[in-house]
């Protein structure tokens, strides 16, 4: 991030990058979140009472395997968002891509008074347009990554456990 940039642009790019981090984490690790939410909901409702100790050991092994696989899947798919990508995302929302234009340099006609004056006018216009920079709202596009909405089933199960599960099961009794 260029320290000479106006604070508003740095703020917009920084918040956009933070949103891109959320997008990347959500896109990569939503299966792990579903596994953990379903396991926590099952534990809150006392699912351990339904199985023998031998079956419970096997079930815990399967859950651990599912969690490890989901974590591995997430690690493999995670891509760290760069500042340049966040800057480009903000730039694409503005007319004329002013953030890119402000980093351009005059090559042809440098040293010519008319070309220099025109270039300064162009940069002044791009600074004016760039001053309207706003953070771009994140969208992890989970509705396409999870077409059967398993993530929502996990969240509903977890919320139901928090609302309806006996307090004894939640460790408060």
- DSSP assignment of 96-136, as one string? T-HHHHHH----TTTT-HHHHHHHHHHHHHHHHHHTT--PP
- Cβ–Cβ < 8 Å for 158, 37: yes
| Confidence band of 3 (pLDDT split at 50, 70, 90) | low
- Cβ–Cβ < 8 Å for 27, 140: yes
Kindly report, residue by residue over 66-116, the tens digit of the pLDDT: 999 999 999 999 999 999 999 999 999 999 899 999 888 887 767 778 888
C-alpha torsion angle, residues 113, 119, 120, 124 (rounded to 10): 160
- DSSP assignment of 10-31, as one string? HHHHHHHHHHHHHHHHHHHHHH
Is the pTM here over 0.85, yes or no? no
Give the residue carrying structure tokens 């740095």. 10
Kindly report, residue by residue over 108-167, the tens digit of the pLDDT: 767 778 888 988 999 999 999 998 899 999 988 888 888 888 889 999 999 999 898 886
């Amino acid at each position: 991030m260029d320290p000479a940039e106006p604070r508003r642009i740095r703020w917009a790019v920084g918040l956009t990058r933070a949103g891109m981090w959320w997008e990347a984490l959500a896109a990569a690790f939503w299966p792990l979140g579903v596994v953990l939410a379903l396991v926590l909901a099952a534990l809150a409702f006392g699912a351990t009472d339904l199985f023998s100790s031998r079956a419970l050991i096997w079930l815990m092994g399967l859950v651990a395997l599912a969690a490890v696989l989901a974590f591995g899947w997430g690690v493999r798919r995670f891509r760290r968002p760069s500042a340049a990508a966040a800057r480009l995302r903000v730039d694409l929302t503005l007319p004329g891509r002013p953030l890119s234009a402000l980093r351009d340099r005059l090559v042809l006609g440098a040293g010519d008074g008319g070309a220099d004056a025109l270039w300064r006018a162009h940069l002044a216009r791009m600074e004016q347009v760039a001053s309207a920079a706003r953070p771009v709202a994140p969208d992890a596009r989970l509705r396409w990554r999870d077409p059967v909405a398993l993530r929502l089933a996990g969240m509903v199960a977890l919320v139901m456990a928090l609302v309806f599960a006996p307090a004894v099961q939640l460790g408060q009794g």
